[in-house]
Chain A
Amino acid sequence: MSVDRPQGVLRRGWSAEVGDYAIAGGWTRRGEALVVGDAAGGVYAFDGTSGATIWTQREVHEGGVLAVAMHPNRPEFATAGQDGRVLVWSAADGRVREALDVGNGWVEHAAWSPDGTWLAASCSRQVHTYGPDGEKAWQSDDHPSTVSAIAWSSTGDLATACYGRVTFFDASTGEVRQQLEWMGSLVSLVLSPDGDIVVCGSQDNSVHFWRRSTEQDSMMSGYPAKPSALAFDDSGTLLATGGGEEVTVWSFQGSGPEGTRPGVMEHHVENVTALAFARRGMRLASGARDGDVAVWSLRRDGHGDPIGVAPVADVVGDLYWRPDGRALAALDAQGGVTVWRVSK
């Protein structure tokens, strides 16, 4: 691949370090701060503009942080860890507002509902939800296997993925609304912004998706590796998938993606680990085991071109666009936090 300007739209921003593998993080709503949780159980907040450390809390989750969820409209976030707990933090000062004991196992996933009312967290075979003041709302029955991913739908349902199925729960009652089945180990889950399309990566190197309205399903197979990174753009037109060294982008415009050829973005030389769409426009960021981060400008048919590339120190753990789309953060396996300014 040739990039006319090696850095393209990515401009020097700031960088910082956390204590161990940077597992997960996120930007506060206006981009004032970037928070990061690490494998040693520490939680860090950096100034969004300068990268200066705002506060640090080391070893709060014994065994390590597993998930970070940013509140959609309050300056708060949640962290989940191997210690079986979820902590709800005030981003400004690093104060823990709520400490929730979820279960005896690892709490691997946490997510706020789109309106910020409910916080969901999964622990082994169950998913638990909590209300606005941290009070327990409901917990699910045991799933057939450990819950491997959770996601809130814009319509207010909570979706869980596990071996063999995706389940939708009513946000306030926990009642099961829909089950979509597929015999395979579902390792990742993403919902289209309108909530109709449900996409899972499967251990057998395929991507499976359903339309909730019709319950029709389709499968995209032939990936060289398991597609653990998935992302939908804000308009619900494009689905970006990892599952190998290439980024494969399916377009849902018209009658697609069935019967269409996906866009294939080639730059990475090892498996893609992270994908994120900027909130508006068709800009996709990809990160890989090779430590490179690329930014792509995509068209509605899923095809596109690279517009920026930059390396980080190690395997890219995850990528987060600042909500205004003018900065991109990458977390890496060495504990590096790299933020670029992104030009238009």
Chain B
Amino acid sequence: MDTPRNIPVTILTGFLGSGKTTLLNRILREEHGKRIAVVENEFGEVGIDQALVINADEEIFEMSNGCICCTVRGDLIRVLGNLMKRRDKFDYVLVETTGLADPGPVAQTFFMDDEIRAEYALDGIVTLVDAAHIEQQLGRSDESTEQIAFADVLVLNKTDLVHDDALDGLEARLRDMNRMARVVRSKRAEVPVDTVLNLGAFDLDEVLGRRPTFLEPEYPFEWTGVYSLDVGRYELSLDDGPDPSMSLVVVPDQGTDDAALREGAEWCVRRYAEPADLVRPGDQIRVGEHLNLELDSPGRKPFFLEVDTPVRVGVFTQHTAEEFDLQLTKVDGATPTANGAPRTEEAVPVEVERTWVAQHEHDDEVGSIAIEVEGDVDPDRLNLWLGQLLSERGVDIFRMKGFISLAGESRRFVFQGVHMLFDGQPDRPWGDAPRRNQLVFIGRNLDEPSMRQGFEACLT
């Protein structure tokens, strides 16, 4: 469906008041050289003359088989079916949905109807989010959640009405729900037009390029600092931070290159799987154990580390060092005394530090799953697995995208889907690039381990 002559279609969704019409008018103003058709519901207020504005009631047509995945927008089929007959074709079609619209039927229309599929290509789903109200909306309505889950671009709008901290939290929550989408912040929907149009939204390369950590595993820690330590006594101190406690593991003999850091991280993940011992300020930190530092008292809190032989340690912490102003200092051999006996103090510099993609608390039922595996896939096994997955879980899978290395195929196989509808074709040759598979699923209550296992069983 992605041949060059197909007319790109962008779908604008978002609750009432999220800024859809403002964005629409902005796009039309900036793209004034283009021929754009706008399909909007009867309450829309597009005020730009040169665009062809077609008012269409959203007509959601279910099929007699009762399958929600086959539900389409009948009005779009009619309207777009007529528009494609004109000789002076449109460069672009924008479809504005009503606030409470489920984006499923709109997206499915571009898969389900042969005539629409032959002439148009879904370029992207852009969801406007009212930063001040989305938290309430997410709690109250499925539509709001689905609009976020379906998006290729999330425009976090009206950011001037919300504190930065809250925005960061909100953005993290949205990313948790939809790791595939690009998140753009704006005040009055004034986002660059090229962030919402001509996305080639199904080019996963671009998604990956934008967010290199996208497919990385998540870790139970966010930060690692590597320190070279001589024999002696060290104080690890932390200032007041966002949480009353923080867990950590100190890894002995930690290397500094990337491979060594990953190795340390994997070792650490296993320590993190064990229950943490509570450590109070003034207590000793034991190397190689999962510890939970108690941080609920005000001011800087010291913990101590004894080193018998010179060693390089990796300190893997649940939060970043910055959040608690974590410092490591060498204190002299003597135990500090209550009477304040003199001692020397020397800050130990961090030799290497890095951050990790932290595991978030997944409060929302809706989330993303990314699978990345090297190797070739057997097409028959893939068909069987995907067929079964989509027939059993299609209702809960909102969107999927990815590329696959099919055995015997010199080109990448690129696919995308909406609910149980699936569309794919070979794209560019692999060439010298390593052959691997990258898949992203966004859905409700997805079972990541079983999906991962299912996909891996398709490898040759």
Which of A21, A104, A146 meets B86, CB within 8 Å? A21
What is the CB-to-nearest-CB distance from A186 to chain B, in angstroms, rounded to a whole number?
10
Given A105-B55, A226-B114: A182 and B87 within 8 A (CB)? no
Instruction: Judge whether B64 and A39 touch: CB under 8 Å.
Output: no
Minimum C-beta distance from B93 to chain A (A): 15
Q: Is A250 close to B, CB under 8 A?
A: no
Question: Range of interface residues on chain A?
Answer: 20 to 34
Say whether B267 faces chain A, with CB atoms less than 8 Å apart: no
A183 x B114 contact (CB < 8 A)? no
Is A203 in contact with B77, judged by CB distance below 8 angstroms?
A: yes
In the complex, how many residue pairs between chain A and chain B have their CB atoms under 8 Å apart? 68
Contact indicator A146/B114 (Cβ below 8 Å): no
Q: Determine the chain B residues whose CB is within 8 A of the CB of A82 once the complex forms.
A: 82
Does A160 lie at the interface of the complex (its beta carbon under 8 Å from any beta carbon of B)? no
B78 touches A108 (CB 8 A): yes
Q: Are B78 and A163 in contact (CB under 8 A)?
A: no
CB neighbours of A64 from chain B (8 A): 82, 85-86
A165 to B4, CA, bound (A): 38
Report the separation of the CA atoms of residues A122 and B302 in the bound assembly, to the nearest whole angstrom.
80
Give chain B residues whose Cβ lies under 8 Å from the Cβ of A234: none
**For B114, what are the chain A residues with a Cβ–Cβ distance below 8 Å?**
225-226, 271
Q: Mark B70-82, 1 if CB is under 8 A from A, else 0.
A: 1010110110001
Minimum C-beta distance from A94 to chain B (A): 22
Q: Which chain B residues have a beta carbon within 8 Å of chain A's beta carbons?
A: 52, 55, 57, 59, 61-65, 70, 72, 74-75, 77-78, 82, 85-87, 113-114
Contact A39 B59 (CB under 8 A): no
Task: Indicate if the CB atoms of B59 and A21 lie closer than 8 Å.
Answer: no
> A208's closest neighbor in chain B, by CB?
B64
Residues in chain B near residue A204, CB distance under 8 A: 63-65, 70
A148 vs B61: C-alpha distance when bound (angstroms):
13
Among A66, A148, A184, which residue has its beta carbon within 8 angstroms of that of B64? Answer: A184
Is A124's beta carbon under 8 Å from chain B?
yes
**Which B residues are CB-close (under 8 A) to A206?**
64
Q: Are B63 and A203 in contact (CB under 8 A)?
A: yes
Binding site for B on A (CB under 8 A): 19-21, 23, 39-40, 63-64, 66, 82, 104-106, 108, 124-125, 145-146, 148, 163, 182-185, 202-204, 206, 225-226, 271, 333, 335
B86 and A203 contact, CB distance less than 8 A? no
Cα separation A64 to B62 with both chains bound (whole Å): 29
Does the CB pair B64–A21 fall under 8 Å?
no
Can you list 28 A-B pairs with a CB-CB distance of less than 8 A? A20-B86, A20-B87, A21-B86, A21-B87, A23-B85, A39-B87, A40-B87, A66-B82, A104-B55, A106-B82, A145-B61, A145-B74, A146-B59, A146-B75, A148-B74, A148-B78, A182-B64, A183-B62, A184-B61, A184-B64, A185-B72, A202-B64, A203-B61, A204-B70, A206-B64, A226-B113, A226-B114, A333-B85
